[in-house]
Structure 1
Amino acid sequence: MIPSNLTAPLKFAPRHLVFALVLSIGLVCVAVAYAGDVQEELLLRGVAEQREFDYFKLALQWPGTYCRKTSKCCAQNGCCRGSNGPTGFTIHGLWADYNDGTWPSCCSGKKFDATEISTLREALYKYWPTLSCSKSKNCHGGKGLFWEHEWEKHGTCAASVTGDEYNYFVTTLNLYFKYNVTEILAEEGYVASNSEKYPIGGIISAIQNSFKATPEVECSSGALEELYLCFDKTFKPRDCVIETTTNSGTLTSSKCPTYVSLPDLASSNLEHSSAYPTLKSSI
């Protein structure tokens, strides 16, 4: 049975009470809208408060090492291209970093636009591939392309030097070609192999001698996985080091054993796919 108070005839309130009620509702709406504006302003202010970066870090990854973690293949995964797969270091990203070891991220609200880099598609596919089937997080609470993640998280923070989205990717590709780590190491005999172990000191020295700057290296299970080249804001090579206030001088970041491997991607047992991924925004 429906309660009698819900079926009782409607009684109209006095006009002044109705006016007061409408006024109260209006004030609540204004307060909610104002709170939203304040929240957005605080978010933008937080972005603006990220200080100007100090230097660039060009992050390179060795596919033969990274792809050992891959158990799934798809059209976008560079690990699964067989003879069309990468044969040397590929680009991870160009990052704006601070000298204290931290970095800014997601420095503007501008979203990735795939059409901006459509003319770079083949170059990005070959030299800057994703090595995973998973989507990458963007700066707007969603997920999308690997390039989307790199632009929104890192590229927006480098915009004071590299400019817009298109120029960020062109600048990164040009640095990659100019400072060709794969060629430098090959000239010294450091090539992909599933049997050889190479001295990490020799790899670092080869780059130091060529670029007059010290790189950073990271390894996974005894294999070289990431290598970082650092540049000042005029793109002159500089050491990837953190200066200290002690008498110990400088510190370098190395997570590698004395001897490391450079696994050959071509020998992978992954299911191969040579299809080009569709370059479109997932936003």
Structure 2
Amino acid sequence: MKAAFLIPLALALWPVPATADGAGDFDYYVLALSWQPSWCRDTGDGRDATECGRGSGLDFTVHGLWPQHEQGWPEYCDTPERDPSRREVQAMGDLMAPGLALYQWRKHGRCSGLSAAEYLATLREAAERVEIPRPFDGLPRDITLPPAVVEEAFLEANPRLTPDGVTVTCKAEILAEVRICLTRNLQPRDCAPDVQRDCTRPSVLMEKVR
């Protein structure tokens, strides 16, 4: 009986996507920044992604800007807004792959209550408000370091951020993402508990920029 009780309780506490479809019904944003060499190693190389080619020079790139509830998150919301045009997603190419920009709009942007153009502009503004730490800019060699050092570098480069507003994630032994929590007005804020899940490995690999 005890085990039968604990299983549904654990499931209830585990964060899951929210079922509400109301566009604009969310509490804050998570800006997700991917370490591009890690994404290429894990996914992009297998797809022959052009952004993983030698000489691309990409370090942290935007994964997405995600509307978030204090627990859970909405996705694939109903909205009367049209998808962005090819020109609009291609214009995001300096921050993220155009195909990813379209996917992020469809999965997350539709929940923002904004038009596609407004969402992409908000995503760009959020990314431009975050300073990438200088040591990671064009990283010339592979390095291994504690996830906490990556977080500290972002806090030093962005004094308005707080430790509870920055989360560093990993996938196996490699650095995956840095996630930064922002208000709906793109001001720094602490992440809700279900987002505050830092990588627990003692160290992670950051492969050099290609």
TM-score using structure 2 length: 0.76
**Where does residue 91 of structure 1 map in the other structure?**
62
More helix by share: 1
**Where does residue 16 of structure 2 map in the other structure?**
none
Alpha-carbon distance in structure 1 between the residues aligned to 2:39 and 2:203:
18
- Residues 1-283 of structure 1: pairs in structure 2 closer than 5 A: 47-48=21-22, 52-69=25-42, 70-74=45-49, 77-80=50-53, 82-83=54-55, 85-100=56-71, 102-110=72-80, 112-115=82-85, 118=87, 121-122=90-91, 124-129=92-97, 145-159=99-113, 163-180=114-131, 182=132, 185-186=133-134, 189-190=135-136, 192=139, 194-209=141-156, 210=158, 211-213=160-162, 214-242=165-193, 252-266=196-210
Paired residues of 1:217 and 1:256 also in contact (CA < 8 A): no
* Cα deviation, residue 221, structure 1: 2.9
- Secondary structure class of the residue paired with 2:47: coil
Q: Sort the Cα spacing of 1:177 and 1:252 in 2 relative to 1 into closer, same or farther, 3 A.
A: same
* Cα deviation, residue 194, structure 1: 4.2
* Cα deviation, residue 114, structure 1: 3.8
Alpha-carbon distance in structure 2 between the residues aligned to 1:221 and 1:265:
19
Alpha-carbon distance in structure 1 between the residues aligned to 2:73 and 2:175:
23
Alpha-carbon distance in structure 2 between the residues aligned to 1:125 and 1:207:
23
Alpha-carbon distance in structure 2 between the residues aligned to 1:73 and 1:202:
31
- Secondary structure class of the residue paired with 1:127: coil
Cα displacement string for residues 54-99 of structure 1 (whole angstroms, at most 9, x for unaligned residues):
110011101111111222315xx4213x32x242211111100111
- Secondary structure class of the residue paired with 1:261: strand
* Cα deviation, residue 165, structure 1: 0.5
Alpha-carbon distance in structure 1 between the residues aligned to 2:20 and 2:175:
37
Alpha-carbon distance in structure 2 between the residues aligned to 1:167 and 1:53:
16
Alpha-carbon distance in structure 2 between the residues aligned to 1:104 and 1:111:
16
Paired residues of 1:58 and 1:95 also in contact (CA < 8 A): yes
Alpha-carbon distance in structure 2 between the residues aligned to 1:195 and 1:155:
34
Give RMSD over aligned pairs: 2.7
* Cα deviation, residue 263, structure 1: 0.7
Paired residues of 1:61 and 1:92 also in contact (CA < 8 A): yes
Q: Sort the Cα spacing of 1:176 and 1:224 in 2 relative to 1 into closer, same or farther, 3 A.
A: same
* Cα deviation, residue 155, structure 1: 0.7
TM-score using structure 1 length: 0.58
Q: Sort the Cα spacing of 1:112 and 1:97 in 2 relative to 1 into closer, same or farther, 3 A.
A: same
Letter matched to residue 197 of structure 1: T
Which residues of structure 1 form unaligned runs of 5+?
A: 1-44, 131-144, 244-250, 267-283
* Cα deviation, residue 195, structure 1: 3.6
Letter matched to residue 218 of structure 1: T
Q: Which has the larger radius of gyration?
A: 1
Count of aligned pairs between the two proteins: 185
